[in-house]
């Protein structure tokens, strides 16, 4: 046997293999390549399954730490009992928003949101609930809440807003705010989306906070997952494939028109929301704009909606000589006060221009010819809006009203 192997090796090294032996050798090489490919595919599947089944959001850790604070009397909320005592609330699959916060699925129309505290360590949970301190009175805490509102919403009378927040904090409805309830409200107010959801809680166009536990809160009345975005043009591939692959999945045009009218109404609402001032759609695009089964518009993610005062605070320390240096997100670029060398809180482009950018590719497919020219004319004027123009307020009002009227008039004629 050994002699035979040596003979084959001699033939291989001298190049004297017979055709039959060469064919057998080639078949062996192909078989090895096939096995290598199968092994790589198998290993890839195993790695993907391991990633999908692993707890990347550290769900058990966050629940354990939250319940620890609840049993220690540091936090309150109706959700705490379901999560920690009755064990009736089970957090499902997890994703993250643009800011890295955790989003746990509860069912098709509800999620629980909380900050990712895993990498900060155990002490991170304790420091969240340090304030307010033991011995603070309800009046003193109300002052704290009011000052927080002034800091984020501007100098206005926020007494009614503070009173409503205090009512929200009073979980057991005994007309008092305990220390645990106060700590919970304070931790929630530190999250921009919670405050914005509270401010717009009477709007039909946003989901509702149904309950909370510490800094974790449940958002309900969401559209189901298939309706949580108008379309997706984020990324080069999606932009290249959009016309051919996505537009055919759109609802019929009259239904899209109804969604668009609701989005325009919401845009008008955030432009000047009573004494709370203006709000900017900083991290908003077509993927967090959704609609209900009846095609009513619903803004399902409000984490990127910032009060003007908050944006101003984020940018005020930036030195600038031109507007391009005053950028928070792609849309939220503000005006540079050249005289002071500081960024202001005034957007270069208004929210309406962003909304027009979103609506154009959504409404153009199958748009009735009778309104197409007028629509394109209004969109062209809309995307060119500039907040520093002397007639900006007039143009803004005209365009948004004309767009709503044009769409709604044709929708009613088709129904």
pLDDT of residue 111: 92
pLDDT band at 50 (very low <50, low <70, confident <90, very high): very low
DSSP H helices in 54-153 = 59-71, 78-80, 122-128, 138-153
pLDDT winner (highest mean) among 8-17, 33-42, 179-188, 299-308: 179-188
Peptide bond into 344 cis (omega under 30): no
- Is the pLDDT higher at 116 or at 240? 116
**First-to-final CA distance of the chain:** 88
Strand segments (E) across 86-227: 94-96, 102-107, 110-114, 208-213, 216-220
Q: Cα 221 to chain center, whole Å?
A: 16
By 3-state DSSP, what share of the chain in percent is helix, strand and coil, each rounded to 5?
A: 55, 10, 35
Taking all residues of the chain, what is their mean pLDDT, rounded to a whole number?
83
- Is the pLDDT higher at 50 or at 145? 145
Considering only 40-54, 196-210, 244-258, 350-364, which range has the smallest mean pLDDT? 40-54
210-234 mean pLDDT: 84
pLDDT band at 312 (very low <50, low <70, confident <90, very high): confident
166-176 mean pLDDT: 91
Nearest to 356 by CA among 407, 319, 307: 407
Count of other CB atoms within 10 angstroms of residue 128: 22
pLDDT of residue 113: 94
pLDDT band at 26 (very low <50, low <70, confident <90, very high): low
Calculate what percentage of the chain has a pLDDT beyond 70.
81
pLDDT of residue 94: 92
Record the pTM: 0.81
Whether the pLDDT of residue 126 is over 80: the answer is no
Residues pairing with 290 in the sheet? 298
């Amino acid at each position: 046997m050994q002699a035979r192997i040596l003979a084959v090796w001699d033939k291989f090294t001298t190049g004297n293999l017979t055709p039959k032996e060469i064919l057998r050798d080639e078949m062996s090489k192909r078989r090895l390549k096939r096995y290598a490919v199968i092994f790589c595919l198998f290993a890839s599947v195993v790695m993907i399954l391991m990633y999908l089944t692993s707890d990347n959001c550290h769900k058990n850790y966050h629940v354990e730490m939250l319940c620890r604070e609840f049993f220690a009397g540091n936090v309150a909320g109706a959700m705490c009992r379901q999560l920690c005592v009755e064990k009736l609330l089970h957090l499902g699959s997890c994703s993250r928003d643009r800011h890295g916060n955790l989003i746990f699925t509860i069912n098709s129309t509800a999620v629980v949101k909380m900050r990712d505290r895993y990498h900060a360590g155990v002490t991170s949970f304790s420091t969240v609930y340090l304030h307010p301190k033991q011995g603070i009175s309800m009046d003193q805490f109300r002052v704290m809440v009011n000052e927080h509102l002034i800091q984020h919403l501007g100098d206005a009378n926020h007494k009614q807003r503070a009173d409503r927040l205090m009512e929200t904090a009073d979980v057991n409805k005994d007309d008092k705010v305990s220390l645990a309830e106060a700590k919970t409200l304070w931790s929630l107010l530190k999250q921009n989306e919670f405050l914005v959801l509270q401010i717009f809680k009477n709007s039909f166009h946003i989901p509702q906070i149904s309950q909370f536990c510490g800094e974790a809160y449940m958002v309900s009345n969401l559209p189901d997952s298939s309706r949580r975005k108008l379309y997706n043009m984020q990324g080069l591939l999606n932009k290249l494939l959009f016309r051919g692959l996505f537009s055919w999945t759109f609802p019929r045009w009259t239904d899209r028109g109804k969604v668009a009218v609701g989005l325009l109404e919401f845009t008008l609402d955030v432009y000047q929301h009573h004494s709370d001032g203006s709000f900017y759609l900083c991290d908003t695009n077509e993927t967090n704009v959704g609609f209900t089964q009846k095609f009513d518009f619903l803004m399902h993610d409000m984490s990127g909606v910032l009060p003007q005062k908050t944006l101003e605070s984020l940018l005020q320390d930036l030195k600038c000589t031109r507007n391009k240096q005053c950028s928070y997100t792609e849309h939220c670029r503000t005006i540079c006060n050249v005289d002071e060398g500081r960024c202001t809180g005034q957007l270069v482009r208004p929210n309406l221009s962003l909304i027009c950018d979103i609506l154009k590719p959504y409404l153009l497919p199958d748009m009735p010819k009778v309104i197409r020219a007028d629509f394109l004319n209004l969109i062209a004027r809309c995307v060119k809006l500039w907040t520093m123009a002397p007639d900006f307020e007039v143009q803004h009002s005209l365009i948004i009203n004309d767009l709503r009227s044009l769409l709604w008039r044709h929708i009613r004629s088709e129904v």
